[in-house]
Amino acid sequence: MTVHIGAEPGSIAETVLMPGDPLRAKWAAETFLDDPVCVNQVRGMLGFTGTWKGNRVTIHGSGMGMPSLSIYANELIRDFGAKTLVRIGSCGAMQDHVKLRDVIIAMTASSYSTPSASFFRDLSYAPCADWSLLRAAAAAAEAKGSTTHVGGIYSADVFYDERPDLDEQMTRHGVLAVEMEAAELYTVAARLGARALAVLTVSDHLRTHEALPSSDRERSFGEMVEIALEAAFS
Ligand code: ADE
């Protein structure tokens, strides 16, 4: 047990899927895993371990934002031996050719800061995905027929950003989408010797101001769970 994860030793799998929302973790575990068991509920941050096609997997919430994700990623890797962590979540599109419901596989994640920023002093470290996971996720998404984009995303510190020029610069530089966790996941995983990837679906569009209705979010979320599982065990 750790400060934030009340799981028994050995009850977390080496492969962990991390949605932001703990209730999504519950839904995904009950929908996709065989014999899911709740292994954590400290502070309402739910984690479940079960099997998928005979492979042991944990689905554990990360909470919103990099400071929250950082706590869980650190404890999952350091204390519970997680070796593969795949974030599954939503993002806001920053390019005209990216549409609602498209799948984004994040090759890199830019940020202003992460909880790890002080490790690098003045260096602008480039958090990047694990190549084997990235390649497998892209293949799985294509096989499903999902419209998929592989490239750079931006991990923001705030959801309600009042700097319109920032979004414009991200768009100019080809950033596909914004979310709030991947840069720290990639950085912590690199530091602690684990593999990491973020598979996202577009839930809103910063340029057109469209947003997915909540009924569509569940279907898109299910697609991401399947892509993440196929990538992790390919
Ligand atoms: N996650 C989903 N949409 C987002 C947005 N517009 N900004 C930050 N994180 C997001």
Those residues with Cβ within 8 angstroms of residue 144's Cβ, 6 or more apart along the chain or in another chain: 223, 226, 227
Q: Pick from 49, 80, 44: which is nearest to 62 by CA?
A: 44
Question: Does 20 sit in the ligand 1 pocket, CB within 6 Å?
Answer: no
Average pLDDT of the segment spanning 11-36: 97
pLDDT on residue 165: 82
Could you write out the three-class secondary structure of the chain? CCCCCCCCCCCCCCEEEEECCHHHHHHHHHHHCEEEEEEECHHHCCEEEEEECCEEEEEECCCCCHHHHHHHHHHHHHCCCCCEEEEEEEEEECCCCCCCCCEEEEEEEEECCCCCHHHHCCCCCCCECCHHHHHHHHHHHHHHCCCEEEEEEEECCCCCCCCHHHHHHHHHCCCCEEECCHHHHHHHHHHHCCEEEEEEEEEEECCCCCECCHHHHHHHHHHHHHHHHHHHCC
With a cut of 90, say whether residue 164 has pLDDT above it: no
Q: Pick from 81, 66, 77, 24: which is nearest to 47 by CA?
A: 24
pLDDT on residue 161: 87
> Separation of 56 CA from ligand 1 center, angstroms?
30
pLDDT digits (tens, 9 = 90+) for 103-152: 999 999 999 999 999 999 989 999 999 999 999 999 999 999 999 999 99
Q: Is 165 a catalytic residue?
A: no
Question: Does 201 sit in the ligand 1 pocket, CB within 6 Å?
Answer: no
Average pLDDT of the segment spanning 181-192: 98
Q: Band the pLDDT of 214: cuts 50, 70, 90.
A: confident
With a cut of 90, say whether residue 167 has pLDDT above it: no
> Separation of 178 CA from ligand 1 center, angstroms?
6
Which domains are assigned to the chain? 15-232 (3.40.50.1580)
With a cut of 90, say whether residue 202 has pLDDT above it: yes
Residues in the chain, total: 234
Q: Pick from 180, 106, 179: which is nearest to 149 by CA?
A: 106
HSE at residue 112, side-chain half, CA atoms within 13 A, is 13
Specify the residue with its C-alpha closest to ligand 1, atom 2: 91
Query: Dihedral of the CA atoms 87, 90, 92, 93 (nearest 10)?
Result: 80
Measure the CA–CA gap between 80 and 3, rounded to whole angstroms: 12
Q: Band the pLDDT of 225: cuts 50, 70, 90.
A: very high
> Separation of 180 CA from ligand 1 center, angstroms?
7
pLDDT on residue 216: 78
